[in-house]
Amino acid sequence: MTTDNARRLMLGLGAGALALSALPTREPAAQQARPPERRMLSAAAYGSKGDGTSDDTAALQSALDAAFAPNGPGFLEIPPGTYRISRTLRIGAAKGETRDITRHHGILAHGARIQSAIQDGSNVLQLVCRSTMRFLTIEGLDILGGGREGHGLYIECEEQEHYLYNFCLRDLVVQGVGGDGLRLIGNVFEGQLINVYLRDNKKNGASFAHGSKAGILSAIHVFGSVFGQNGQYGAAMVHGCYDVSFHGCYFLLNGKEGLVAENGCTLLSNCGFENNHESAPDFAKGGSGIFLQNFGTLIGCTAYSMFKQNRLIQAYVVSQLAMIGCTGSGDGGARAAGLARIGGEKKARAVVMSCQGAVEYMNGFEALEIGASGQGGVRLASSWQSPNLLQLGDYRLWVDKSGKLRLKNGVPRSDDDGSST
């Protein structure tokens, strides 16, 4: 996390400044080119039919090329209809071409469906960013896969000195593709996903990742989105990324976990996890709604199961975990479903506050529980080695193996250190 935090600090001090530094130096007014005309192109003007039968690939690609040309208007409207395509639609500069786009631009497509007839595993709509792009909006698009393509919407910026940021993906639907519904990779940051619906995709609903060659994904916020019935995970945060936050999202009926966060998750607030682990044979071999390593904060998150999901979260804590006002429960075959299964390193911290549902600890790890259901007021750690011992000034209190309460001025060095009562 040290490298990522340094990079975030650098970006936070001036993501815009970094991007602007890559732009050409302003020329004298007399030599400046005329600014591009700002207007909306229509895909219909380029011959797209949207009748669900015609192959609209070439027409849509021509429209995209015109809209995103160096001096193009930047906006493309795709009118309502069903547009059948047979190969990948591409946004952005061609290979070997560099052009920065730092004005508002994007695709507006309410009522338009891209119906994939791609057979070779390539992506449906792809943006490989080789220059700096800012203020991109993709709104209202519906992508329906046939199961033999790759990812539905693929966005990549694996560049050292170029970025895709200040973007918004909203009111999108991606269903039935052969890969992930949505995949974001690399220097992609300061963006929002709003009301995105990712369902029935063969792999993950969405994947978020640092670049394997270059690029730090960060500062992504996901609002009111649904990740459901995907073959693997609802959402996966992989390749070291962690700075994605989910607010009011729902994760249900995915083959495995609703969310996997391999290096932690900045924030989950008011998110629901229901009946995930559909691919498991039964409740005993099912799993949690969330699998998390390193750190995380959960506020007001819920888990409910009638089948194979057995708790809200399974976590291995390296630094810190906070859970506030969360619940985990089940009915039917999942009546034994609980809240959490938590393990971690000795110096790690975990706090469970005002939560409901059973908490299980692994390998002697203990959290500080405050107002948890069935636990009364405060449940402190009892082992002398725990970082969550009750501390009064410089004194630590714990219960030794014989059941005696012990008190030590300073950090205890053994189970029988200090005085007993």
- Does residue 398 sit in helix, strand or coil? strand
Bridge partners for 206 per DSSP: 182, 235
Residue 371 tokens read as 């107002």
Specify the DSSP element, H or E, that contains 2: helix 2-21
Q: What confidence score (pLDDT) does residue 381 get?
A: 65
Bridge partners for 106 per DSSP: 75, 137
CA distance 112 to 123: 18
Give buried/exposed letters for 173-195 (b at 16+ CB in 10 A, else e).
bbbbbbbbbbbbbbbbbbbbbbb
> pLDDT category, 413, cuts 50, 70, 90?
confident
The single-letter DSSP state of residue 242 is -
> pLDDT category, 11, cuts 50, 70, 90?
very low
> pLDDT category, 14, cuts 50, 70, 90?
very low
Query: Residue 211's closest CA among 189, 190, 196, 234?
Result: 189
pLDDT of 380 over the 70 cut? no
Q: What confidence score (pLDDT) does residue 10 get?
A: 46
* Strands 395-399 and 405-409, sheet pairing: antiparallel
pLDDT of 79 over the 70 cut? yes
Q: Which residue has the tokens 């497509």?
A: 109
CA distance 339 to 362: 14
pLDDT of 64 over the 60 cut? yes
Query: Residue 198's closest CA among 239, 243, 143?
Result: 143
CA distance 197 to 356: 29
Full DSSP string of 33-69: PPPPP--EEEGGGGT---EEEEE-HHHHHHHHHHHTS
Tens of pLDDT, residue by residue over 263-301, are: 999 999 999 999 999 999 999 999 999 999 999 999 999
Percent of the chain with pLDDT over 70: 86
- Does residue 181 sit in helix, strand or coil? coil
CA distance 165 to 190: 5
* Strands 164-170 and 133-134, sheet pairing: parallel
Q: What confidence score (pLDDT) does residue 25 get?
A: 47
Query: Residue 186's closest CA among 207, 216, 161?
Result: 216
CA distance 229 to 2: 35
CA distance 124 to 115: 9
Q: CA–CA distance from 108 to each of 42, 50, 93, 416 (Å)?
A: 10, 15, 20, 69
| Ranges of each domain in the chain | 38-234, 242-379
> pLDDT category, 71, cuts 50, 70, 90?
confident
Tens of pLDDT, residue by residue over 224-246, are: 999 999 999 999 999 999 999 99
Rounded to two decimals, what is the model's pTM?
0.86
Beta carbons of 185 and 167 less than 8 angstroms apart: no
- Quick one: three-class SS letters along 330-374? ECHHHCCCEEEEEEECCCCEEEEECCECCEEECCCCCCEEECCCC
Beta carbons of 197 and 172 less than 8 angstroms apart: yes
Give the E-state strand segments of 195-299 in sequence order. Answer: 197-199, 206-209, 218-223, 226-228, 235-238, 244-247, 250-252, 259-261, 265-269, 272-274, 287-299
Tens of pLDDT, residue by residue over 84-99, are: 999 999 997 665 556 6
